[in-house]
Structure 1
């Protein structure tokens, strides 16, 4: 008779989860990828953190398990944002063969449920001990990825824009406590992948009561020192304003 543990260890071959972690690095929007071991290849191959689900687990539990196993991360707020179920997901025989070898199961059609999170690059995490198998790849310069992972990443990028449209306070979690107008503008340019007019952005900033100017300026810079600002979350929560799409 099978034990509950044995049941849990059985993968369900038709449903998987994939986790998309987006962060900004060197003025680029980047996605966290994990190394994928491909037999007989000396090249490094990458994919999104993802896996088949166990028969006994729900989707959210599977997503957090997969992310932790692949990256060591635990305290990341994942949000389910879309499912991908095209029959063409498994059209590449090499991708299917790799997954069959990894799961020890026969694979046919797979529906994947995608989860998304913004992750602050440089934040101290247990990812350090897995650094040899992880990379932050610019979303505009992705390596070859299996299945439809590039499509999933592009959908995640649009989803982040929708999030910021509805809840602009999100971006301040990925800025230092004190930031310049340039740093804030660059975050929006990176998210929306387009240049923002400096004057219009300054005007928009001035209407946002939760962006508070401080008495401090940059030090040790080779250009005119910029004024620092801070984000007042209490004011933001009271106003709950919408920062219209730039």
Structure 2
């Protein structure tokens, strides 16, 4: 991986990449953020932001996105989907953001308009993903509890959620990347409710799970819980690939009875 502080002559001051990493902890959808580090004593560089960076002139966009995630979070070799470019002239309106960017990259030139290429990945928050790089204070933040972020990163996250809702209608397997290997019906329902920002009827949702041939019930149940122990399920990717190849798919909007 490249050093994030190479000489500024190798940086392209007009193009950047930003990565939206969505995770699910069983109850809440979260996004991975990092802190605008550097010169904290001034009080101007404490905003949170998406993992991102200007690109180097000798790297491809996909390579830059992977580098950013590794350097800012310690995550490596994630499956990234390039989903949109953001190039509004207002992206660099905040002098605080530009001053931070110039100092962070040790630039000797004025940063003006920047076009950013955004990437998306969805992961389950397991033990490995809780030990993130602390160099830039990477942390998971609830989607519904975001503060104002640097640049236009709130807008980027909103567009990422819209993209996910469209994407999983034809690629529902992507949602199971957010779940542990064993999950309950309540966890799956909560995930759908979080993604689609709406409540689903519990009974009808269980009926729909029974119709998802690639979601297999296990002879395993929760233990040590105060309520009735729920059954665990697992996602069968091989069966999903076989069914999906036959044109089978699922999204809540295609089955009104799920509500």
TM-score normalised by the chain length of structure 1: 0.90
Please list every run of at least 4 consecutive aligned residues from structure 1 whose deviation after the TM superposition is greater than 6 angstroms: none
Q: Is the 8 A contact 2:45 2:100 kept in 1?
A: no
Secondary structure at the counterpart of residue 144 of structure 2: coil
1:108 paired to 2:112: yes
Q: Is the 8 A contact 2:81 2:119 kept in 1?
A: yes
The structure-2 alpha-carbon separation of the partners of 1:26 and 1:224, relative to structure 1 and needing over 3 Å to count, comes to: closer
| In structure 1, distance between residues paired with 2:203 and 2:98 | 51
1:232 paired to 2:217: no
Secondary structure at the counterpart of residue 119 of structure 1: strand
Residue-by-residue CA offset, 1:140-189 (whole Å, 9 max, x unaligned):
21123111010001111111222211111122222222222111111111
Structure 2: gaps of 5 or more residues: 1-5, 254-259
Secondary structure at the counterpart of residue 145 of structure 2: coil
Paired residue for 1:17?
A: 17
Residue pairs, 1:162-177, within 5 angstroms: 162-177=166-181
Paired residue for 2:249?
A: 242
1:96 equivalent among 95, 98, 101: 98
Paired residue for 1:35?
A: 35
The structure-2 alpha-carbon separation of the partners of 1:113 and 1:132, relative to structure 1 and needing over 3 Å to count, comes to: closer
| Bigger mean CA offset, 122-131 vs 19-28 | 122-131
1:121 paired to 2:128: no
How many angstroms does 1:119 deviate by? 2.1
The Cα RMSD (Å) is 2.2
Residue pairs, 1:37-116, within 5 angstroms: 37=37, 39=39, 40-41=42-43, 44-103=46-105, 104=107, 105-116=109-120
The structure-2 alpha-carbon separation of the partners of 1:168 and 1:123, relative to structure 1 and needing over 3 Å to count, comes to: farther
| In structure 1, distance between residues paired with 2:51 and 2:28 | 20
The structure-2 alpha-carbon separation of the partners of 1:123 and 1:160, relative to structure 1 and needing over 3 Å to count, comes to: farther
